[in-house]
Amino acid sequence: MTTEGITLTLVLITFAIYIYIGWWSRVKDTSSFFVAGKEIPAVANGAAIAADWMSAASFISMAGLISFLGYDGTIYLMGWTGGYVLLALLLAPYLRKFGRYTVPDFIGDRYYSNGARAVAAIATVFISLTYVAGQMRGVGIVFSRYLQVDIAVGVFIGMAIVAFFAVLGGMKGITWTQVIQYFVLIIAFIIPAAAISLKLTGNPVPQLGFVFSDIAKNLSELQVQLGLSEYLKPFENLSAMNVFAITLALMIGTAGLPHVIIRFYTVKDVRSARWSAGWALIFIALLYTTAPVIGVFAKYNLINSFNNEAIEQVREISWVSKWEETGLLQLDDKNGDGTLSFSSDPDTNEVIIDRDIIVLSTPEVAELSLFIIALVAAGGLAAALSTASGLLLAMSSAVSHDLYYRIFRPEASEKQRLVVGRWMIFLAVIVAGYFGIKPPGFVGEVVAFAFGLAAASLFPAIFLGIFDKRMNREGAIWGILSGLTFTLVMIMLMRSVQIFGTEAQILDSFLGINAQGIGVVGAIINFIVSFVVSRRTQAPPEEISRMVEDIRVPKVMDQTD
């Protein structure tokens, strides 16, 4: 049986399970649709949080970023993991104690304003749309290689699957689907890592094989010999300022992600929310301690597979020709000597590898079994679809619950709210599919933009809402608007665009910070504007101050909502 045949079989089996769970968990009330009836066990919710949080960027793109950026690629490890700890310890328990459905719900009630609720809902939509574009792109990449279809067709298939179980089951269906998807993606990540570690180092434990071998040192020396940047040297690909800014943007952006925060509302009490956070951290650590291993081993394998090899012989390798067909791998004998060589100069580099294919291609490059190759494809799909479904529900909740029900139609019946919620998921899937086909960057980069938007808009409002009693609605509204607007504009100015048929970039950076880290500046602007405006306008009502105290100060034996 061929690689494509085994992959198709495995993907169809996993998709059938996802669809069955969506049908089994279909819901008829808004509590189950938005927060799974607050009845998800802590360990299951931990797995769902991990699957929701570890998107296609974590599974597909992060190891690729580490492969290409070397030392500087650790910004994603530090930012995303540090951000999760920040969210789990500093924000999530308080938000769960507040006991609302969504982040805009918290902001609207904490700042006693439908205006604040509306701008938070708008920010949620912007963040989620940006984030989900990367997930749909990941789905398209997997399908384009392993099912030999166009990336656009692959995106459409993913749209159909995720729409089915998200529309029927809402948060309940999404949660139980994500539990299964977590175990699919983590098995698919660990097994190839163990196999390639055993092959290169003789140690089947990837982390130990990495620590007790010279692969990273050898890769660094090999890159220097080829005229590439030294792999282990810091600040070769990114300046120190960018490393700091991107890491901090990813960290506080993680703590402001609406689709992750909503997960802590799906358990019965604050204690369960804390246990969910602990379980999720364990589940996340399994992948995040393995990603650097795959990044280093894969880069080492790829260079040895291509450098100084005859181009025609390389093209005869099955996996090479199939990845070339996708356009994500390009071989070009620019000097006409018949062999391939790597170079840091784009004009002379003869091997162009899209960083999003590093993890997906690793089993084939390492000549692992066909089943492992297929398993990685299924894992990539699970990672992308699990996060996409959470993001779709976050957008649906922002529009149907926070805008439609809480602002425009408070008299809407349960049935009407469910109908609007399902229609919003359907519309969000269509928009997400479009951005998946025409994304503003590679998967990890697009996701970093989403984290920057969350850092600049929602994080300051949530943080100040919990820890600053003097913070009022005017400060929150103007803070969110200023941070979100600045970051959106700067990201667009720093992206390459077509101007009169020529590709141009208006800004390279702002104060030495690139588009992936600009959310930090937006967050600083948000904090300053929020603080100044709140101090120059009327203080919040006394009942709001008491509510903030009640959220912050724990009560003895408090297990209630």
335-368 pLDDT per residue, tens: 888 898 888 788 888 888 887 788 888 888 777 7
CB 311 within 8 A of CB 324: no
- Which range, of 12-16, 228-232, 550-554, averages the lowest pLDDT? 550-554
- Residue 114 confidence (pLDDT): 93
Q: What backbone torsions phi and psi does residue 438 show, to the nearest 5 degrees?
A: -125, 70
Mean of pLDDT over the chain: 84
Percent above pLDDT 90 for the chain: 21
Rounded to the nearest 10°, the torsion over CA 379, 380, 385, 390 is 90
pLDDT, residue 149, reads 76
CB-based contact 67:236 (threshold 8 Å): no
Give yes or no for residue 251 having a pLDDT over 60: yes
- pLDDT recorded at residue 107: 93
Residue 500 has pLDDT above 80, yes or no: no
Q: Is the pLDDT of residue 499 over 80?
A: no
pLDDT, residue 398, reads 85
Indicate if the pLDDT at residue 444 is higher than 70.
no
**Res. 442: pLDDT tops 60:** no
pLDDT at 64 over 50: yes
Q: Name residue 309's amino acid.
A: E
> Which one-letter DSSP state was computed for residue 230?
P
Q: Which residue has the higher pLDDT, 521 or 381?
A: 521
pLDDT attached to residue 166: 67
**With 60 as the cut, is the pLDDT of residue 503 above it?**
no
Check: CB of residue 351 under 8 Å from CB of residue 314.
no
Instruction: Check whether 473 has a pLDDT greater than 60.
Output: yes
- Global model pTM greater than 0.95: no
* Cβ–Cβ under 8 Å, residues 452 and 519: yes
Q: How confident is the model at residue 77 (pLDDT cuts 50, 70, 90)?
A: confident
pLDDT of residue 92: 80
Segment 117-127, tens digit of pLDDT: 999 999 998 88
- 45, 166, 524, 550 from 459: Cα distances, Å: 22, 26, 11, 20
List domains and CATH numbers for the chain.
29-552 (1.20.1730.10)
Most confident range, picked from 128-132, 228-232, 267-271, 483-487: 483-487
Look at strands 496-499 and 329-331 and give their pairing: unpaired
Closest CA to 528 of 487, 486, 483: 483
